[in-house]
Amino acid sequence: MQIAGSVALVTGGASGLGEATVRALVEGGGRAVILDRPGSPGEDVARALGSAVRFAPADVTSGEEVAAAVGRAVEAFGAVHVAVNCAGVGMAMRTITKEGPMPLELFRKVVEVNLIGTFNVIRLAAAQMAKNAPNAEGERGVVVNTASAAAFDGQIGQAGYAASKAGVVGMTLPIARDLASLGIRVVTIAPGTFDTPMLAMLPEAQRRALAAGIPFPSRLGRPAEYAALVRHVVENAYVNAETIRLDGALRMPPR
């Protein structure tokens, strides 16, 4: 699918990987709707990028709010061709601590946002994509999800996060099969350690230690590198039902 002329819905598009993706798609001639939480800098990002971008405040776990964001994209630009799921949360806690078992609500929250929220966006965006006229390859849409290296190498304290991201990996193939007859591809990217606002809060020494553990290149990933892979996935019609690790050969240790 060509980026130029396409319309993308990008969750978590107000910062980090999502913002880099919005910028890359707009640079490629596409248009985008940022779906992010109310109170996020989504409106500021949209304003800075101009008329090709809109902001739709929404919670990815809400069917009504995501449906409204999809409607906003159609109202503004006439269609939805691409959905990129970057919204997510991470909460670290051991299964049992000195204070007792991890509160079930923490585990539930991470799974609800990262896994259920991703599926919620897929189902609603794909329903809109199905209305598109197919292109020369028979494509009507492309979905790109964000998992994590933690889906394969979850660290101590990452039970909820790793489970939620492994769920995103696990549903990639069956959803791609579900949507194949509609001409909609589904691909997942599993980033390693990226230089995002979340990591920016860490002390510099800890950031250097994280970078040193990456075989090559021995640095944190750049959001633009994630965005470049999203562009390739969208443009390469033969990439489907795959999870692609983007991690500089990192295999995460226990801690």
**Is 161 assigned a catalytic role?**
yes
- Nearest alpha-carbon partner for 16 in 252, 222, 229, 230: 222
Please give the Cα distance from 3 to 236 (Å, whole number): 11
What are 247's two structure tokens?
A: 């991690």
**Considering the chain, what percentage of its residues have pLDDT values greater than 70?**
99
- Sheet strands side by side (includes 31-36): 53-57, 31-36, 7-11, 82-85, 141-146, 184-191, 243-246
Please give the Cα distance from 250 to 192 (Å, whole number): 7
Q: What is the pLDDT of residues 132-159, one digit of tens each?
A: 999 999 999 999 999 999 999 999 999 9
The sign one gets for the Cα dihedral 152, 25, 58, 122 is negative
What are 73's two structure tokens?
A: 């994209």
Q: Which residue has the higher pLDDT, 138 or 205?
A: 138
Q: Are 148 and 190 a contacting pair, CB within 8 Å?
A: yes
Q: Which of 55, 77, 161, 226 is catalytic?
A: 161
Q: Which domains does the chain have, with CATH numbers?
A: 7-246 (3.40.50.720)
Range 33-55 average pLDDT: 97
